[in-house]
Amino acid sequence: MTSATEGRLLGRSQIEDLFIVPAFALVAALVIGAGVMLATGVTFSTIGQSYVALLRGSVGSVNAVSETLTAALPLVLAGLGLALGFRAGLFNIGAEGQIIMGGLAAVVAGVALGDLPAIFALPGALFAGALAGALYASIAGWLKAATGAHEVISTIMLNLISYRLLDYLLRTPLIQKEGRADPISKSVPDAAELPKLLTFIDINLRLHAGIFLTLAMVFVAYWLLFRSKLGFEFRASGENPVAARVAGMNAGLTIVLAMAIAGALAGLAGANQTLGVLDRATPGFSAGIGFDAIAVALLGRSHPVGVLFAGLLFGALEAGGRQMQVDAGVSIDLIGIIQSLVIVFIAAPLLMKTIFPWGFRRSDAP
């Protein structure tokens, strides 16, 4: 996907990769987004108003920053998992399903462990989330290793299956909230919740302790990818599967492990949502995070630090988009367009060069 050889935290070419290219991409995407608004009869003043709201809703106040971070956390976690997969040459579209499985398992474990002190209940619930995500992703990994089934199709199907499975499981007596007929899970007990961090400023601020988990995982993913033997095997299999096999690496095991770790991170993203934000599982609680995370991983060039910044950017777009919908009456779906355009501009350096011939001094495309 990108050249995987560089292991330094930030090299010179990576600064261009991580900051300059995304900045151009974002500007281009915002301009085209304005064009789309114009085409649907939105006036110039409203377009200005919506981009002001986008900025204000993402970084304009303590609440805005808290919302941006809250929205960014699951994107970073799931994006890290996908980035690991990309490095290993696996295009895992299944983060959405892994988030659902992880989030649901975290709720179930949280409810079961709710009577224990938080020091046991919370890690237990998080672990359950990671494990469920890992197991669900391993299905696709195993199918690929054992039969050669392409992970793109099998993970998409696992996503579609997970939606139905969630709807079903939310109605089973073990999970469904007592006395409710609609599909909704029991509430997560306090002991298993990720505690809110900023309630001393304002009771409504939603930022929670998942931020520490996320930062820790950025570090873990970085270490795993660039400092461990396993990460080397991932990158080797991704760069040149034949050479990796000739060098004695077990291709099948690498695939299953890479999928399992990716799934564990996506599962943590789900647990982050159910334990930190929603306090329960509901139908569709994954809310497309798994798909946005694909964009985040691509945007971050499959580098853990890049994923962190890309997640923050997408979190800001998400939080700002909500403000935009309220202030300017422009549908939040516009954000989806902007995000997709950011991907295409980043993933096609040649296209960027054509649009901004004066912007880059890159000697060659990766």
Partner 1 sequence: MTVLLDKARQRQTRVTGVILISIALLLALFLAPDATGNATFRLSRPNDTWPVPNLVVPGGAFIYVVSAFTAFLGVRLFLRGGAKWAPLILGVGLAVAVAAFLVWATAGKSFSLTGMLQASLVRAVPIALGGLAGVLSERVAVVNIGIEGMLLAGAFTGALVGSLAGGLAGLAAAVAVGGVFGFALAALVVTYRMDQIIAGVFINLFVLGVTSYVSSQVFQEYRALNNAPVFRAIEIPILSDLPVIGPVFFNQNIFVYGAFILAALATYYLFHTRYGLRARAVGEHPRAADTLGINVYRTRYVNVTIAGMVAGFGGAWFTLGSVGRFDEGMTGGRGFIGLAAMIFGRWHPVGALLAALVFGFADSLQQKLALLGTPIPSEFLAMAPYIATIVVVAGVVGRARAPAADGKPYVKE
Which residues of this chain interact with partner 1, rule CB under 8 A? 1, 36, 40-42, 91, 93, 143, 146-150, 152-154, 156-158, 160-161, 164-165, 167-168, 291, 294-295, 298, 330-331, 333-341, 343-344, 347-348, 350-351, 354, 365
Dist. CA 129–CA 35, nearest whole Å: 42
24 vs 188 by CB, closer to partner 1: 24
Inter-residue contact 265 to 81 (CB < 8 Å): yes
195 vs 329 by CB, closer to partner 1: 329
The alpha helices in the chain, defined as continuous H runs, are 12-15, 21-39, 44-59, 62-87, 95-112, 118-147, 151-169, 210-227, 229-239, 241-246, 251-272, 289-299, 304-328, 333-347, 349-355
Identity of residue 19: F
Dist. CA 15–CA 27, nearest whole Å: 17
Identity of residue 84: L
| Phi, psi angles (nearest 5°) of residue 223 | -60, -45
Dist. CA 281–CA 199, nearest whole Å: 23
- CA 252 to chain CA centroid, Å, is 25
Nearest to residue 191, comparing CAs of 273, 70, 106? 106
Both tokens assigned to 46? 């409203």
327-365 CB burial, b ≥16 within 10 A, e <16? bbebeeebbbebbebbbebbbebeebeeeeeeeeebeee
Residue carrying the six token digits 């330094």: 8
Dist. CA 133–CA 68, nearest whole Å: 25
269-283 CB burial, b ≥16 within 10 A, e <16? bbbbbbbbbbbbbee
Dist. CA 254–CA 240, nearest whole Å: 13
In order of 196, 197, 198, 202, the CA distances from 210 in angstroms are 9, 10, 13, 18
